[in-house]
């Protein structure tokens, strides 16, 4: 009898968890959905909590910022591929309590098609002073995309800024006056002049400016490297450094900038990568279904 008790005590000491002690996380505690994405798309990463230390994640040599869901007891984030990422297999490296794990995400090539636009020649062939303005606006915008609040402030499902249908797809090549230009880095949503535009998620307003191409523009930093963009507005109701909640009205749609009619251009950047907003909204629904 005494021998059986000693064996039981030994088993409990070796195999049962002790309070406050983290143990190696089984691969089943790490989920990447989906494990195969196209250029310009994202996967949802979730990691079951194991100890008090935040896991460390690397994707394409960049750190991935994680958010924590107290109710579900999970860490989560998005990992994505830019519109022009070279197709192939990429390793997602995850460190949980000094235990290394990895997942392979396949990035597939995708043809998003083309759109043909005809606009006044004066808005295509830019004068020297206009070109200088455009280059400066582009530089400032890119600097914003590469600097973000480290900790994510967004949560749950991402929402449409307006209810209108998509009238111009993400990723399609732009053929302007029969000349090929950069592919469309966001989506155009149907919106008549003065339609209320809502924040796609919680974040901090980091830009409210009138730009040559995008017109009256708003950019929101949602933390963790995610920015959302709202272009061609007629009015803005927010200012730089203001925090906004998901769904709050930030402005009105319009036809400012270089466009042929009123609509809303809605874009997403993830650590500077051009991401399909529709894909992000669809994948984010999984956070509310888990």
Residue-wise pLDDT tens digits, 205-215: 999 999 999 99
Q: Write down the pLDDT at residue 290.
A: 61
Q: Are residues 71 and 120 in the same domain?
A: no
Q: Can you tell me the mean pLDDT for 137-148? A: 90
What are the distances in angstroms from CA 202 to CA 75, 226, 235?
18, 11, 20
Name every residue whose Cβ is closer than 8 Å to that of residue 136 and which is 6 or more positions away in sequence: none
Q: Are residues 94 and 136 in the same domain?
A: no
What CATH number should be reported for the domain holding residue 99? Answer: 2.60.40.1590
- pTM for the full model? 0.86
Helix or strand (DSSP H, E) at 6: helix 2-15
Q: Are residues 279 and 136 in the same domain?
A: yes
Q: Write down the pLDDT at residue 19.
A: 40
Q: Evaluate if residue 18 carries a pLDDT over 70.
A: no
- Higher-confidence residue of 147 and 214: namely 214
- Indicate the number of domains in the chain: 2
Q: Are residues 100 and 187 in the same domain?
A: no
Other Cβ atoms within 10 Å of 78 Cβ, number: 28
- Residue ending a domain, among 67, 86, 108, is 108
20-29 tens-digit pLDDT: 344 445 565 9
Q: Are residues 62 and 125 in the same domain?
A: no
Q: Are residues 10 and 43 in the same domain?
A: yes
Q: Evaluate if residue 125 carries a pLDDT over 90.
A: no
Exposed, middle or buried by CB within 10 Å (0-12, 13-18, 19+), for 235?
A: middle
Name every residue whose Cβ is closer than 8 Å to that of residue 126 and which is 6 or more positions away in sequence: 134
Name every residue whose Cβ is closer than 8 Å to that of residue 209 and which is 6 or more positions away in sequence: 137, 216, 217
Q: Can you tell me the mean pLDDT for 49-78? A: 91
- Residue ending a domain, among 79, 108, 137, is 108
Q: Are residues 249 and 124 in the same domain?
A: yes
Whole-number Å distance between alpha carbons of 165 and 70: 35
Residues pairing with 80 in the sheet = 42
What CATH number should be reported for the domain holding residue 179? Answer: 2.70.70.10
What are the distances in angstroms from CA 282 to CA 34, 42, 43, 287?
12, 10, 11, 10
183 three-class SS: coil
User: Strand 42-48 and strand 30-33: pairing?
Assistant: antiparallel
Which domain, by its residues, includes 61? 2-108
Q: Are residues 126 and 156 in the same domain?
A: yes
Q: Are residues 119 and 78 in the same domain?
A: no
Q: Are residues 161 and 265 in the same domain?
A: yes
Q: Are residues 14 and 55 in the same domain?
A: yes
- 14-23, 28-37, 77-86, 233-242 — which is least confidently predicted? 14-23
- Residue ending a domain, among 78, 108, 138, is 108
Q: Are residues 32 and 80 in the same domain?
A: yes
Q: Write down the pLDDT at residue 217.
A: 98
């Amino acid at each position: 009898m005494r021998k059986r008790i000693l064996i039981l005590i030994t088993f409990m000491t070796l195999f049962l968890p002790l309070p406050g002690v983290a143990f190696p996380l089984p691969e089943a505690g790490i989920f990447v959905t989906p494990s195969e994405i196209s250029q310009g798309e994202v996967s949802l990463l979730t990691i079951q909590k194991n100890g008090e230390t935040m896991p460390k994640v690397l994707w394409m040599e960049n750190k991935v910022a994680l958010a924590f869901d107290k109710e579900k007891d999970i860490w989560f984030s998005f990992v994505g591929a830019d519109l022009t990422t070279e197709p192939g297999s990429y390793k997602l490296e995850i460190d949980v309590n000094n235990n290394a794990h990895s997942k392979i995400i396949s990035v597939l090539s995708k043809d998003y098609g083309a759109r043909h636009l005809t606009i006044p020649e004066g808005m295509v062939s830019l004068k020297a002073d206009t070109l200088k303005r455009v280059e400066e606006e582009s530089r400032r915008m890119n600097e914003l995309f590469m600097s973000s609040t480290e900790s994510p402030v967004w949560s749950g499902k991402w929402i449409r800024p307006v209810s209108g249908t998509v009238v111009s797809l993400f990723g399609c090549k732009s053929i302007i006056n029969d000349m090929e230009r950069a592919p469309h880095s966001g989506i155009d949503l149907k919106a008549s002049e003065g339609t209320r535009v809502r924040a796609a998620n919680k974040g901090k307003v980091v830009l409210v400016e009138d730009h040559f191409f995008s017109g009256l523009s708003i950019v929101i930093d949602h933390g963790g490297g995610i920015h959302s963009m709202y272009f061609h507005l007629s009015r803005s109701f927010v200012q730089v450094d203001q925090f906004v909640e998901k769904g709050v009205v930030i402005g009105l749609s319009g036809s400012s900038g270089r466009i042929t009619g009123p609509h809303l251009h809605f874009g997403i950047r993830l650590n500077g990568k051009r991401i399909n907003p529709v894909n992000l909204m669809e994948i984010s629904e999984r956070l509310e279904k888990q």
